[in-house]
Amino acid sequence: MMGKYRVLIFGIAVAVIALFVVFAMPEWFAQRGAAEAKDVRENKAPDFILKDIQGGKFSLNEQRGKPVLLIFGTTWCPSCREEIPHLKDIYARYAKKGLIMVNIDIQESRDKVSRYADKHELPYRLLLDENGAVSEMYGIRGVPAMILLDEAGMIVGGQRFIDPLLAKMLKG
C-alpha cells in the first residue's frame, strides 16, 4: 500500500514539474530576452560593451554615426580562417572611408585570441565575448557570421550580402 502512494506522489511531482516547464519557463525566457528580441525585430542592433585583446573597452553605442561590421568567429573555426583574406580586403577598402570593423571572438581566452590575431596579422579590432552573451543576443548559431550596421545602428544585412551593401553604403 505504501508503495502505491510513493508512485502516486512521484507521478504528481513529475506532472507539476512538467506543467512548470511547459507553461512557466517559456514566459520566463521570453521576459528575459524581450528587450533584445524587440531590438533585433525592429532591426536595431542591441548595444553591448566588450573588452578587446589589449584590455580596452568597445561600446557599440559609441560607434553611432559610423557604419559597423560585426564579425563573429572563433580561433578553432576553419571557415573563419578561410574568410581572413576577404575580411582583410574589406578592411583595406573601407576602413579609410569610416567603416568600424570588429571581430567578436566567442568564448575563448585573451591569450589564445591574441596569438591568433598575431599569427594572421589581423588589422581590425578583436573583441572578447567571453561568456557568449553578445553572440546569443544577436542570435548567432554558427561561425563565421557577419552583421552590418548603418550609421544609425540599424542592422542592414549580413553574411552573403555584405560586399554589395558596403559598396553602396561607402560608395566604393
Per-residue pLDDT tens over the stretch 29-87: 344 444 444 444 468 999 999 999 999 999 999 999 999 999 999 999 999 999 999 99
CB of 46 closer than 8 Å to CB of 133: no
Domain 45-169 CATH assignment equals 3.40.30.10? yes
- Using pLDDT thresholds of 50, 70 and 90, give the confidence band for residue 2: low
Average pLDDT, integer, range 146-164: 89
Q: Where are the domains of the chain?
A: 2-32, 45-169
Q: Residues, the chain, total?
A: 172
Question: What's 44's DSSP letter?
Answer: B
